[in-house]
């Protein structure tokens, strides 16, 4: 079947694009690995999305998904592996082997956690190495864990982990902590141990993680910290691999868009939210950008048949 529009991603940008596309009567398919995106990765509350003074990322995302499903839209839970430009539109392939066709595409695939890229990291994913406190935090009851990254994300992860784990460390590469004062105060209150100047060298274990080795960048000494969990919180990288031949990238590997209409360098291929070079990365912005992209795609489809 030839869709008018395929939306890739089920975070705030993709859901908003889906609602707007359906309301424009576009025959639309939304493909997402899962609903939620980044805001479901941690059990932090969201306090800056209008209409909700305080709501958990999971609850807000469930509301988004419910709202989307009220509309006439096809939904596939799958991972997109390739987008190709063909005559009259696009082919979108998924890892399941399915292939879909549409006149226009909106990429809203957000960002994936940035990996540490040290020995042991890949090997122990799901065996002590995690990128999602909300998902895996409860598995570390009474264990000792390290959070790598001393920004707000790292501190928020550590603060939520302290309610399960026996001991929580934060390991930060730089000499200074960049997290907000309020997060630093909470970490102090919960006895979270913050170690600066720590360059992670290796994650070790047998079947599961039993330690992380870091180099103290001042003394150059290698130090072993006995922990059973390592939570990586060193930022994110745009999830763009499937579209790389069709778009231009910023120096941060974000998809470059025309800020007026969210179009990429390929006519008919739009992008919105954290995957793009939009200046600020926030839920309300991603939702607004998704809306802009859907309305622009509608205009494009009307004008290009
Ligand atoms: C821990 C944390 C806390 C945050 N707290 C706040 C906050 O309090 N307030 C705020 O405004 N913002 C917050 N943010 C930022 C906010 O979450 C993001 O700006 C927002 O989620 C971006 O939405 P998005 O739709 O662009 O991308 P994402 O939320 O990243 O969603 C991407 C979607 O694409 C899907 N996807 C990815 N690759 C593929 C593929 N190949 N095929 C199919 N689907 C794919 C994913 O499964 C997901 O559904 C926070 C972020 C983090 C990490």
pLDDT computed for residue 135 by the predictor:
77
Residue 1 above 60 pLDDT? yes
Instruction: Count structural domains, the chain.
Output: 2
Question: Does 60 share its domain with 17?
Answer: yes
Question: Does 164 share its domain with 217?
Answer: yes
Asked whether 154 lines ligand 1 (CB < 6 A), one says no
Residue 124 lies in a domain: no
DSSP 47: -
Among the three residues 186, 203, 232, which one is the final residue of a domain in this structure?
232
Residue-wise pLDDT for 164-184, tens only, equals 999 999 999 999 998 999 999
Question: Does 264 share its domain with 171?
Answer: no
pLDDT computed for residue 120 by the predictor:
98
Residue 36 above 90 pLDDT? no
CB 7 within 8 A of CB 29: yes
Question: Does 17 share its domain with 87?
Answer: yes
Distance of alpha carbon 228 from alpha carbon 72, whole angstroms: 46
The three-class DSSP label of residue 34 is: coil
Taking the centre of ligand 1 as the mean of its atom positions, its distance from the CA of residue 38, in whole angstroms, is 3
Question: Does 181 share its domain with 102?
Answer: no
Question: Does 202 share its domain with 265?
Answer: no
pLDDT computed for residue 44 by the predictor:
63
Taking the centre of ligand 1 as the mean of its atom positions, its distance from the CA of residue 84, in whole angstroms, is 24
pLDDT tier for residue 142 given thresholds of 50, 70 and 90: very high
Asked whether 43 lines ligand 1 (CB < 6 A), one says no
Taking the centre of ligand 1 as the mean of its atom positions, its distance from the CA of residue 20, in whole angstroms, is 19
Helical ranges in 109-237 per DSSP H: 133-136, 152-161, 181-189
Q: Per the structure block, which two tokens stand in for 192?
A: 């979270």
The domain of 174 spans 129-232
| Closest listed residue to residue 111, CA positions, set 286, 245, 247 | 286
Question: Does 133 share its domain with 93?
Answer: no
Residue 119 lies in a domain: no
pLDDT computed for residue 42 by the predictor:
61
Mean pLDDT (the chain) is 95
Catalytic annotation on 291?
no
Residue 218 above 90 pLDDT? yes
Residue 123 lies in a domain: no
Q: Work out the percent of the chain whose per-residue pLDDT is above 70.
A: 98
Which one is predicted more confidently, 67 or 280?
A: 67
Question: Does 227 share its domain with 293?
Answer: no
Q: What is the CATH number of the domain that holds 167?
A: 3.50.50.60
pLDDT computed for residue 192 by the predictor:
98
Among the three residues 232, 266, 283, which one is the final residue of a domain in this structure?
232
Taking the centre of ligand 1 as the mean of its atom positions, its distance from the CA of residue 282, in whole angstroms, is 9
Looking from the CA of residue 46, the nearest atom of ligand 1 is 8
Which one is predicted more confidently, 231 or 305?
A: 231
Question: Does 218 share its domain with 250?
Answer: no
Residue 190 lies in a domain: yes
Asked whether 90 lines ligand 1 (CB < 6 A), one says no
pLDDT tier for residue 162 given thresholds of 50, 70 and 90: very high
| Closest listed residue to residue 263, CA positions, set 231, 224, 293 | 293
Catalytic annotation on 135?
yes
Looking from the CA of residue 236, the nearest atom of ligand 1 is 53
Question: Does 207 share its domain with 255?
Answer: no
Residue-wise pLDDT for 38-95, tens only, equals 888 665 678 889 999 999 888 999 999 999 999 999 999 999 999 999 999 999 999 9
CB 93 within 8 A of CB 82: yes
pLDDT computed for residue 236 by the predictor:
85
Catalytic annotation on 4?
no
Distance of alpha carbon 121 from alpha carbon 200, whole angstroms: 11
Residue 122 lies in a domain: no
Residue 120 lies in a domain: no
Residue 61 lies in a domain: yes
Residue 133 lies in a domain: yes
Among the three residues 232, 249, 278, which one is the final residue of a domain in this structure?
232
């Amino acid at each position: 079947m030839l869709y008018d529009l395929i939306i890739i991603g089920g975070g705030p940008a993709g859901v908003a694009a889906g609602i707007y596309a359906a309301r424009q009567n576009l025959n639309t398919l939304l493909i997402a690995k899962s609903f939620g995106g980044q805001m479901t990765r941690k059990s932090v509350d969201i306090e800056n999305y209008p209409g909700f003074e305080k709501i958990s990322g999971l609850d807000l995302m469930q509301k988004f998904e419910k709202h989307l499903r009220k509309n006439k839209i096809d939904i596939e839970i799958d991972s997109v592996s390739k987008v190709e430009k063909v005559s009259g539109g696009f082919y979108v392939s998924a890892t399941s082997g399915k292939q879909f066709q549409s006149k226009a595409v909106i990429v809203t695939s957000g960002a994936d956690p940035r990996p540490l890229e040290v020995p042991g990291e890949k090997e122990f994913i799901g065996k002590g190495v995690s990128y999602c406190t909300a998902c895996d935090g409860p598995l570390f009851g009474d264990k000792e864990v390290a959070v790598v990254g001393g920004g707000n994300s790292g501190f928020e992860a550590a603060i939520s982990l302290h309610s399960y784990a026996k001991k929580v460390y934060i390991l930060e590469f730089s000499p200074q902590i960049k997290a907000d004062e309020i997060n630093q105060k909470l970490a102090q209150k919960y006895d979270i141990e913050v170690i600066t100047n720590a360059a992670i060298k290796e994650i070790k274990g047998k079947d599961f993680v039993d330690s992380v080795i870091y180099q103290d960048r001042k003394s150059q000494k290698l130090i072993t910290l006995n922990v059973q969990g390592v939570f990586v919180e060193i930022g994110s990288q745009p999830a763009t691999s499937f579209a790389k031949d069709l778009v231009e990238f910023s120096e941060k590997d974000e998809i470059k868009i025309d800020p007026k209409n969210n179009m990429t360098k390929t006519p008919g291929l739009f992008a919105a939210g954290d995957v793009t070079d939009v200046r600020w990365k926030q839920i309300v912005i991603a939702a607004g950008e998704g809306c802009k992209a859907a309305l622009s795609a509608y205009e494009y489809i009307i004008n290009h048949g």
